[in-house]
Amino acid sequence: MPSGRLADEGKHAESEAAFGKIAAGGTAGYRSLALLREAAEVAARDPKAAIATYQKLAADRSVGQSLQDLAALRAAALLIDAGSSAEAKSALEPLTGDGRAFRHSARELLALNAWRAGNMTEARRWSTIIMTDAQTPPAMRTRVEMLIALITPETTG
C-alpha cells in the first residue's frame, strides 16, 4: 500500500516507516520529499522529533533552497505550537525576504507567533507588512484581517 494512502487512513506509524524506506533508498529528490512526509507523520505522535527532522532537512544544502525553506517553515510552525516563540522567530525571519518561496507563509506565522506570545507591537508590524504587500495571497490577507481584529488598542506589547 502506498505510504500516502497509509497516512490518509491514519496509519501514521506504518506511513512513517514507508516514507523512511523511501528516504533511505530513493533518489535525492524522492529522499528529500520522503523526509518531509516522514516528519509530518512523526509530528502526529512526537512533535519534538518532527522539529528535529525538519531542522535537519532545513540545514541540508543538498536538497535545495525551496525544500530547506519549507522544512524550516514546518519546524517553526511546530515550535510555535510548542510555545518556543523565540526559536520560531529565529527560524522564520530569514524566510521573509522578497525572493523566498514561502515568504508570505513565514510572515503570517511571525504575526501569529507574536500574537500568541503577547507581543502586539510585533504582531501589528508583521500584519502591516503582509497587508501592504500587493503579492500577499487573498486568503492570507483575510486571515491576517481576522488577526488584526484580535489586536485591540488596549493590548500593547
The answer on pLDDT for 13 being more than 80 is: no
More confident of the two residues 17 and 99: 99
pLDDT for the residue numbered 38: 86
Give buried/exposed letters for 121-157 (b at 16+ CB in 10 A, else e).
Answer: ebbbebbebbeeeeebeeebeeebeebbeebeeeeee
Q: How confident is the model at residue 25 (pLDDT cuts 50, 70, 90)?
A: low
| Alpha carbon distances (Å) from 87 to 21, 72, 82, 147, 152 | 30, 11, 10, 22, 26
Which tens digit of pLDDT belongs to each residue from 113-146? 999 999 999 999 999 999 999 999 999 999 999 9
| Alpha carbon distances (Å) from 95 to 2, 36, 60, 73, 109 | 32, 18, 15, 8, 11
More confident of the two residues 90 and 11: 90
Model-level pTM?
A: 0.80
pLDDT for the residue numbered 155: 46
